[in-house]
Every structure is written in C-alpha cells, then in structure tokens.
Amino acid sequence: MSADSVFSSTFSFNKLVIFGVGLIGGSLARALRERGARAPGAQVVGVGRHAQSVARALELGVIDTAATLDDEAALAAALAGADIALIAAPVAQTQSLLERIAPHLDASTVVTDAGSTKGDVIAAARAALGARIGQFVPGHPIAGRESSGVEAALPDLYVGRNVVLCPLAENAPEAVARVAAMWRATGAVIGEMPAAQHDRVFASVSHLPHVLSFALVDQILGAPDAELKFSFAAGGFRDFTRIAASSPEMWRDVCLANRSALLAELDGYTEVLAKLRAAIDRGDGAALETAFARSRAAREAWQERGGKRAAPGAPGTTPADGESGK
C-alpha cells in the first residue's frame, strides 16, 4: 500500500453529489462542512431513490439540495457541473446506479464509491460506464457505526481512519489524487492496494468477523433455552456480537459480492476451530494455552500499533464499530 504522503493535501470543490445520504455519505458531507474543507458557495447535493430518503438529510442541513433517481430533470441538474459523485449505497446497487447516472455525467466529473468490496464494484462500473471507466476511482472508507441513517452521521467519523483506494489502469493520476484529497480533508489516512488484494484482506479482517458475530447470535437464538442464555449474556457476548447490530441487507450483499475470498477465510477459520475442538476433546491444556497466548500477543501488538486507527501506509483494519460495508 502506498503512503499517505503521495497525494496532495489540498481539496476544494464546487459541487459534490452523494448517492445515498446515510451514515457514510452524510458523515462525508458533515466533515467537509464542519472541518472547514468546504469553500464558500460549494454545494452538496443528496440523491435518493425516493424523496423521503433525502428529506431528512435536507432538514438536518447535511445537504444543500436534494434530487431523486426517478426524476430525470432533477437528476440531470444534480449532476451538471459536479466535481465529484460518491456512490454510498449497497454494493449490489452499484451497476444500476451508474447506469442511471451515466447519461448525465460530465466528462470532468470524478465518480468514486464507498463499497466494502471492490472486484464486483469494478466489474459493475466497467459494465455501466464502458469507455468512460477512467472517471471511476474505486474507494473504501474503513469507518462506521452500528447505527445507520443520516441521523447517525458524524463530522469526525473519518478522523484517523483508513480510506483504501484501488485505482484502475484507466484512471488519470489527477482523478485519484482528487478523491484522495477529498477523504484526507475529512481527517482520513489514505492508502492504495489492488482490488483483488483488498477483497482478500477485508474478507479476513472485516467480512469474516461480521459473519461470525451474526452466526453466534443465530446459534443462541436457535437453542431451546435461548431466552435464559440471553438474560445472562454480559461483556464478552456484547463485545463479540456488537457488529451483529449492522444492516442485514448490507452484509448480505457484502458476503455474496466477496464470496470466493470469504469462503476461503471461512474454511481457514473452520480448520482452526477443528484444532481447538480436538485439543479440548483430548484435554490438551498446553495446546490451548499456546494458541491463546499466541493470539493474545498478536492482538496486543495490533492494539499497540493503534488498532483500528492504523498508521499511514498500514493495511486497513476492522473498525470496532463495523465499517462502511456498502
């Protein structure tokens, strides 16, 4: 991954269009406004599937104007003269959104996304944009909360957090630098990695933990004494299952979009569980302690390096609060 310093630290814009003004898109808009990165007269436009989906963002002052995907004239006006357009919607919607946007997209507009998977998003962008694929710079802000929606948006959500860019061969360096500068203006740390590597890394440190968290809750829920178990659940259960409060729709899409890498991680995790099960079954305390000690040391080393707020140039890590997951 390249270091943060390769990009320009300045950022200004005339018009930013956000498709999906929820936690991720709303936090970007608030950060640019409240952290002083927004020049006078700059405009943030929020676009949603229906009027009610952007009405709250408008009411809260997160966006300046709103448009809906089903209003052709409003959509065209929203994109006219836009510097940057951000796709902050579930990854499964990427192709349909880009197809909707493409007819109204200025040649100078840079499009980026906030999706948790990149291989599928890039394929969707190629299908939708064709020869204009150079306008699309794949991105992934590694930040989030269990809460969703624009009400949960925070101006400091991205401070110290990683944003991974996965530039394409067709991207102009200026387009990549512009997206990087936008995220840096929110306080984020910028890095790059190839899309395939991104999907392998995040299958391990983000997608797998979410699946395991959902799975534990589901296992207990299926037990005949589930209510009793939940009534005695405390700190360990709370910490392990916190991300099971994330959006089921969003994580369904992530799992399916990154299925190959995620299946490989699930297989690897199953092998480790099998070894631990065998050690427990044979009463091998030494083997258990060795495995646990090794894991604790690795966890402590990660924490000392800054945990989820990783240093510049370090691979993105899994936020304790979930992640963009779009």
**Tens-place pLDDT, residues 9-32:** 478 899 999 999 989 999 999 999
Following CA atoms 11, 68, 98, 259 in sequence, which dihedral angle do they give, to the nearest 10 degrees?
100
Strand pairing of 162-165 and 189-192?
parallel
Buried b (16+ CB within 10 A) or exposed e, 3-31: ebeebeeebebebbbbbbbbbbbbbbbbb
Residue matched to tokens 């991720």: 24
Residues 18, 89: Cα–Cα separation, whole Å: 9
Helix (H, G, I), strand (E, B) or coil at 172: coil
Residues 189, 4: Cα–Cα separation, whole Å: 6
Candidates 196, 209, 309; CA nearest to 251 is: 209
Instruction: Give how far Cα 59 sits from Cα of 48, 76, 178, 287, 318, Å.
Output: 14, 22, 29, 58, 32
E strand or H helix that includes residue 262: helix 259-281
Residue 320, pLDDT above cutoff 70: no
Identify the pLDDT of residue 310: 40
Identify the pLDDT of residue 313: 34
* Domain parsing of the chain, residue ranges: 4-193, 198-304
Q: Is residue 184 within 8 Å of 190, Cβ to Cβ? A: yes
Candidates 23, 71, 29; CA nearest to 46 is: 29
Phi, psi for residue 117 in degrees, rounded to 5: -125, 155
Write down the CATH number for the domain with range 198-304: 1.10.3660.10
Write down the CATH number for the domain with range 4-193: 3.40.50.720
Phi, psi for residue 3 in degrees, rounded to 5: -75, 155
Q: Is residue 39 within 8 Å of 81, Cβ to Cβ? A: no
**Residues 123-175: tens digit of each pLDDT:** 999 999 999 999 999 999 998 766 678 888 899 999 999 999 999 999 999 99
Strand pairing of 139-141 and 162-165?
antiparallel
pTM of the model: 0.84
Residues 162, 118: Cα–Cα separation, whole Å: 16
Residues 87, 70: Cα–Cα separation, whole Å: 16
How many CB atoms are closer than 10 A to CB 272?
Answer: 11
Identify the pLDDT of residue 35: 79
Instruction: Give how far Cα 42 sits from Cα of 15, 34, 181, 202, 283, Å.
Output: 6, 13, 16, 34, 66
Residues 99, 29: Cα–Cα separation, whole Å: 24
- The region of weakest confidence among 28-32, 60-64, 310-314 is 310-314
Residues 193, 16: Cα–Cα separation, whole Å: 25
Residue matched to tokens 């300046």: 64
Residues 262, 116: Cα–Cα separation, whole Å: 12
Candidates 273, 161, 252, 158; CA nearest to 207 is: 252
Structure tokens given for 230: 């939940």
Residue 3, pLDDT above cutoff 50: no
Over residues 77-91, mean pLDDT: 95
Phi, psi for residue 214 in degrees, rounded to 5: -60, -40
Is there a shared CATH topology between the 4-193 domain and the 198-304 domain?
no
Residues 308, 112: Cα–Cα separation, whole Å: 23
Residue 5, pLDDT above cutoff 50: no
**Residues 199-217: tens digit of each pLDDT:** 999 999 999 999 999 999 9
